[in-house]
Structure 1
Amino acid sequence: MIELVNIKKGFGEKVILPDVSAVMETGKVNLIIGSSGSGKTVMMKCMVGLMEIDGGKILYDGQDFTNMPEQDRKNIRRQIGMLFQGSALFDSMTVEQNVMFPLDMFSTGTLKEKKARVMECLERVQLKDAAKKFPAEISGGMKKRVGIARAIVLNPKYLFCDEPNSGLDPQTSLLIDKLIKEITHEFNMTTVINTHDMNTVMESGDHIVYMYQGKKQWEGSNKDIIFSKDEKLNDFIFASDFLRDAKEMRQMEMFQEKDWRNKLKKS
């Protein structure tokens, strides 16, 4: 797991994260949500070491990532997969070459072994037939799946995703959410997603941290959200009348399911 212990981050006199503690759990899809300016992007950048924190600790499975020697940090980074918001594929490389890039950088395997691993990952995201295509020849959703294949090609323990559904239609977004969740559980990874997509929150949120003005306002699962009494969280998640009505309907369904289970136990 990844543990944040009283982390602080600011730029000059502007404090972004005054004092945040949270745990990103292993084998779960951990979401960081919040409105623009809430500190969620800075929080993720601090976790992967793109920004240095001003105080506190970041622990990877108990190891102090904040204060460890640079070589040890590199070893941690080799266990991290990253899915970028814009996919960040190399236009001049084929799909196969894009996925192989991390292996060329960090693996000592033979070309045959690397190609076998690449095809294994492309098959996992159902893109084996697109291996020889260039990014310009595939759709936005396919590019995201290539990004996922590249992120997992080194068998990472930790997967970070920055707005994985940005720019995608609702149906494709659900497919990406499902794929990330399946891979997380399948490989028992610690997955951290920075998102404002409410479908992702309700469908994939095994563990959710809601940030408000740089502070952790709420923490729980997507099921906990349905019954949350936190006004700031509810105003953010259920911002429209339609979503508030949907919340009430879901509450009724969950109560009915609970009543049904209780009746079954009695019988």
Structure 2
Amino acid sequence: MIEVKNVNKSFHGKQILFDVSATFETGQTNLIIGQSGHGKTVLLKSIVGLHQIDSGQIVYDDEVFSEMPFSEQKLIRKKIGMLFQGSALFDSLTVEENVRFPLDMFSDKSLEEKSDRVNFCLNRVNLENVNHLYPSEISGGMQKRVAIARAIALNPQYLFCDEPNSGLDPKTAIVIDELIYEITKEYGITTIINTHDMNSVMAIGEKIIYIYQGRKLWEGNKNDILLAKEEKLNDFVFASELFKRIKENL
């Protein structure tokens, strides 16, 4: 479980996050949703520790991460898997080398053990016979699956996904959503997903918080969200024609 307690964050005198509090449950897909520019990416990066918060606390399973010295934070970071927007694979490395990268950085395993782990992770995301290929030689959806394999290479307790469906066609996006959901359940990971994709929200949104202008305006789950009374959330949810038609039938 990860807890965010009364978090505030500013850049160059401009406040971005205002007293945000939330709990992200273990073994669930926890979503942060909201429009671009309203603070959800800043919140995600603050939770990971890429931004130092101005006040409040970030707590990982009763350990106050935000108040730890950097040397202790590194121990927590070894338990974190990251799925970046756009996959962020290394173009000069093969698929196998990309997935092995965190093992090379943080593991004392032998090369054979690391190769076995790479193959296990690639098989888990339904990729075979791609080890020798470079990112430019595979599709965007396959790149995203390679990035997921890399993210789980170290058996993380916490998984952070920044816009995991960015740039993907709808069918491939469903595959990625299902894969993240399955891995979360299978390994009991605390998964936090930053997204504005309402299809993802309705597919895997077990715990959802809505950020508007740096404030948490609503929280619930995918079953609650279509009936929410928060006007600004409704403007966000029902922005597309599909969800407008869903609203008309509620």
For Structure 1 versus Structure 2, the TM-score category normalised by the shorter chain is over 0.9
Identity of matched residues, %: 61
Counterparts of 1:3 and 1:81, CA distance in 2? 17
Letter in 2 for 1:13: G
Contact in 1 for aligned 2:96/2:131 (Cα 8 Å)? yes
Deviation of the 1:136 alpha carbon? 0.9
Pairwise mapping of residues 34-45 of structure 1 onto structure 2 (< 5 A)? Answer: 34-45=34-45
What corresponds to 2:95 in structure 1? 95
Counterparts of 1:12 and 1:233, CA distance in 2? 28
Cα deviation digits, residues 87-108 of structure 1 (max 9, x gap): 1111111101100000000000
Contact in 1 for aligned 2:226/2:237 (Cα 8 Å)? no
Cα deviation digits, residues 64-118 of structure 1 (max 9, x gap): 0011122210000000000010111111111011000000000001111100000
Letter in 2 for 1:194: N
Deviation of the 1:166 alpha carbon? 0.5
Contact in 1 for aligned 2:46/2:52 (Cα 8 Å)? yes
Larger Rg: 1
Counterparts of 1:69 and 1:128, CA distance in 2? 41
Deviation of the 1:240 alpha carbon? 3.8
Deviation of the 1:38 alpha carbon? 1.1
Counterparts of 1:247 and 1:112, CA distance in 2? 54
Counterparts of 1:241 and 1:156, CA distance in 2? 38
Deviation of the 1:248 alpha carbon? 4.5
What corresponds to 1:159 in structure 2? 159
Q: TM-score, normalised by structure 1?
A: 0.91
Give 3-state SS (helix, strand or coil) of 1:88's partner: coil
Pairwise mapping of residues 53-132 of structure 1 onto structure 2 (< 5 A)? Answer: 53-132=53-132
Change (3 A) 1:26 1:90: same
Give 3-state SS (helix, strand or coil) of 2:132's partner: coil
What corresponds to 1:47 in structure 2? 47
Deviation of the 1:130 alpha carbon? 1.0
Counterparts of 2:13 and 2:77, CA distance in 1? 30
Give 3-state SS (helix, strand or coil) of 1:105's partner: helix
What corresponds to 2:14 in structure 1? 14
Cα deviation digits, residues 165-195 of structure 1 (max 9, x gap): 0000000000000000000011010101111
Deviation of the 1:247 alpha carbon? 3.5
Detail structure 1 runs of 4+ shifted over 3 Å in the superposition: none
Letter in 2 for 1:10: S
Change (3 A) 1:130 1:19: same
Give 3-state SS (helix, strand or coil) of 2:211's partner: strand
5+ residue gaps, structure 2, are: none
Give 3-state SS (helix, strand or coil) of 2:219's partner: strand
Letter in 1 for 2:217: Q
Give 3-state SS (helix, strand or coil) of 2:229's partner: coil
Give 3-state SS (helix, strand or coil) of 2:66's partner: coil
Letter in 2 for 1:14: K
Cα deviation digits, residues 208-265 of structure 1 (max 9, x gap): 010011100000001111221211111101114541222454x4xxxxxxxxxxxxxx
Q: TM-score, normalised by structure 2?
A: 0.98
Give 3-state SS (helix, strand or coil) of 1:35's partner: coil
Give 3-state SS (helix, strand or coil) of 1:244's partner: helix
Q: Which has the higher helix share?
A: 1
Residues 1:147 and 2:147 aligned together: yes
Deviation of the 1:53 alpha carbon? 0.3
Letter in 2 for 1:107: S
Counterparts of 1:113 and 1:241, CA distance in 2? 50
Contact in 1 for aligned 2:17/2:215 (Cα 8 Å)? yes
Change (3 A) 1:241 1:176: closer
Counterparts of 1:72 and 1:240, CA distance in 2? 44
Change (3 A) 1:97 1:224: same
Contact in 1 for aligned 2:7/2:56 (Cα 8 Å)? yes
Counterparts of 2:52 and 2:229, CA distance in 1? 35
Give 3-state SS (helix, strand or coil) of 2:97's partner: helix
Counterparts of 1:16 and 1:208, CA distance in 2? 20
What corresponds to 1:174 in structure 2? 174
Judge which range, 147-156 or 190-199, deviates more.
190-199
